[in-house]
Structure 1
Amino acid sequence: MRTLSAENVVEYLRETGRLPADAAATVTPLAWGVSNIVLRIEPAGHRPLVVKQAQPQLRTRQEWFSRCERIYREADALRAWQTLLPPQAVPEVVFEDRPRYILGLEAIRSDHVVWKQRLLEGRLDHLVAHTLGQRMAAIHRGSWRRPDLLPGAEDWSVFEELRIDPFYRQLTRVYPELHRPIQEVIDDMAAHRLCLVHADFSPKNVLVHPQGITLVDFETAHYGDPAFDLGFFLSHLLLKSLLHPAQRRDWRALVDEFLEEYEGGMPAEYATGIWRRAVRHLAACLWARIDGKSPVEYLTAPPLREFVRRVARDWLSAPPASVHKAVAEFLSRQI
């Protein structure tokens, strides 16, 4: 397989007829995650695009592999999400080169900001949280009992490779005593296949720009339990809050804004049981980002890491009654 790079991607686009033979272009590597090569191409006289190529081995310290065919799922998921969300909420698919595991996407404005960076700086935008609560609810509500919206959505192979194994099962390899509670979380998730799930709904995949907010990175999308999206996303917010202890009230308000919009967008009969399961996913995801295969890079202080382990262990054995209570407890505990 030809591996794309900043040095050869323009040549590839010319050879495949996607750029004129004499077209000049600037190329910028993008830091989207650890699993793909992602390049922004700005050709003179043509609209910019992003070219993404799946790689079999992820860029992590521990060995981590996933099938390159996941790029097919991403293309299908983008088309599915476009039927569920407002215009420009996700990038358009420009082209697919399936034999080479390459996807061409509409480029988001170059003046976008990755929301993760703002959160790490302690810059809390409540409108972003508000919008994301609405978007997640729209995805879950609009695809409820509709696996047909995404081809192959009930195949969890990539979800297993990129989430269940490196996050949840890895915890049981490091801490064998967690096998039973973690397996219960996995089994409960498998028993509640209810709607389309992004499974990488993370601040690093939220691009904020003057025209709004765009979600990216859909290769883990599947038909599953919406509680996973909630737990996964909230774990990112709570972990980043540890960097800004003086802003605890502001972080609480940010999370509450997201939860209020999500709850308001989900019919009551759909939400039954989601919150109980979401707390356990929150616990497992918090711990996995400390001791899983993809630990967060910004929590290096041993006291903070041990605090996360302690909270997660408590919640896996005796979860709080609701996500709201879990968030309040996390942000009020002494480290």
Structure 2
Amino acid sequence: MALNHEEKDEISTNILHDLSQTAYACSSLIPISGGTANFVFRGIHRDGTIIIKHSTNFASCNRDFPLDISRCIFEESMLNYLQDLPISLVKTPRLLLFDQVAYTQVHEDFSDSIDLKAVIFSGSLSHSVAKFIGYNLGTWTRSFHTWASTRTLYAEQNEPMRKLKYLITYGSFIEVLERFPEVLGTHKATLEEIEARSTKELQTLADDGLQDWGVIHGDFWSGNVLVSQSHKNNEPGLFIVDWELAHFGHRSYDLGQMIGDLYERKYFRDAEPAMWIIQALIDGYGPIDDDMAFRIAIHTGVHLICWCIRGPAKDTPERMSGIIRIGMNFMLKAWEKDKEWFQDTILASLFN
């Protein structure tokens, strides 16, 4: 159950009062929609606007869904570490203030930007700009993964969000498939092997020294990529936000989630720019070995299975089962290491 208007107003009032004692006092707060975990506002400050992110021990969209409040502490740590990333066209927010008592963060506001999801659906995204966005997201993601592998980051200890991520992906996909028995068919035993590997890997530690493991963003999708609206030479600035799910995991999880999310835009809304971004993203990330490619394919499949059933039905039952089948086939063929099968799919370039 969501909070009522009076309860939401009380949160806003308390935030305004707390900020009034700081350099980030605001005259008003404007709620920002789209998030489900935290209460997020755009604050009107004397020097412009700022983003205020307030965390509670439950999801902002549902008070009955508990969330470990330590997530905001891990995000604060990540935002500070990320300022050491090499300078590029892709940026992350500066943390301006963190109130550890109220669990409230103040971030810089990229006010001249909208999220990538909205850009894809705008109808004005050209092929060249889509390729620019995808390629730079790919190169940045590779740079971030490489950078994170050379540092000891506090987010390695973010076990609550790591377990939550598992719960809503590998811990759920078989249950989802069981709602589509005509799709699941006789494949449950093989899929349980994939689930078992992922369950075992929850015990993997940062000091195990395994290839392709490290701190990942953890919630890498088009809603957490902001794109500047004013730019020169068709080269918009890009901003990666929402770092509270950063945790120790396999790097394929970031890439698989983004590819799966973008493909959903194509499948349900016929948004062709999403496909341009996928191909450029893969190109930008650069060379990977077969194991990484198959891992990305598996996670793309998990995303397609688990995310498309969240919220209201996105299409007819036939179309829903269609994308579930695509996701399951990605998983099965990657588990079988069938490179040839992928040559006629959206993931072909992972193997080229």
Q: TM-score, normalised by structure 1?
A: 0.81
Runs of 4 or more off by more than 6 Å in structure 1?
Answer: none
1:170 matches 2:172: yes
- The AA in structure 2 aligned to 1:204 is G
1:82 matches 2:107: no
* Identity in percent: 17
Once residues 297 and 344 of structure 2 are traced to their aligned partners in structure 1, the CA distance between those partners, rounded to angstroms, is: 9
Once residues 173 and 307 of structure 2 are traced to their aligned partners in structure 1, the CA distance between those partners, rounded to angstroms, is: 10
What is the total number of aligned residue pairs between the two structures? 309
- The AA in structure 1 aligned to 2:323 is V
Once residues 114 and 313 of structure 2 are traced to their aligned partners in structure 1, the CA distance between those partners, rounded to angstroms, is: 18
- The AA in structure 2 aligned to 1:82 is Q
Match among 136, 140, 143 for residue 131 of structure 1: 136
Match among 188, 191, 196 for residue 215 of structure 2: 196
Match among 133, 158, 162 for residue 159 of structure 1: 162
**Structure 1, unaligned runs of 5 or more:** 330-335
Give the equivalent residue in structure 1 for 2:3.
Answer: none
- CA distance 1:83–1:296, change in 2 (3 Å): farther
Give the equivalent residue in structure 2 for 1:287.
Answer: 305
C-alpha displacement of 1:232: 0.6
- CA distance 1:72–1:46, change in 2 (3 Å): same
Once residues 57 and 192 of structure 1 are traced to their aligned partners in structure 2, the CA distance between those partners, rounded to angstroms, is: 35
- The AA in structure 2 aligned to 1:81 is L
Q: CA RMSD in A?
A: 2.9
C-alpha displacement of 1:17: 2.7
**Structure 2, unaligned runs of 5 or more:** 1-6, 179-187, 205-209, 232-236
- CA distance 1:33–1:13, change in 2 (3 Å): same
Once residues 91 and 327 of structure 1 are traced to their aligned partners in structure 2, the CA distance between those partners, rounded to angstroms, is: 32
Give the equivalent residue in structure 2 for 1:274.
Answer: 292
Once residues 98 and 13 of structure 2 are traced to their aligned partners in structure 1, the CA distance between those partners, rounded to angstroms, is: 20
Once residues 170 and 64 of structure 1 are traced to their aligned partners in structure 2, the CA distance between those partners, rounded to angstroms, is: 16
C-alpha displacement of 1:115: 1.1
1:9 matches 2:32: no
C-alpha displacement of 1:7: 4.2
Once residues 13 and 158 of structure 2 are traced to their aligned partners in structure 1, the CA distance between those partners, rounded to angstroms, is: 36
Match among 162, 182, 188 for residue 195 of structure 2: 182
Confirm or deny: 8 A CA contact 1:115 1:204 kept in the other structure: yes
Once residues 124 and 268 of structure 2 are traced to their aligned partners in structure 1, the CA distance between those partners, rounded to angstroms, is: 12
Confirm or deny: 8 A CA contact 1:235 1:286 kept in the other structure: yes
Q: TM-score, normalised by structure 2?
A: 0.77
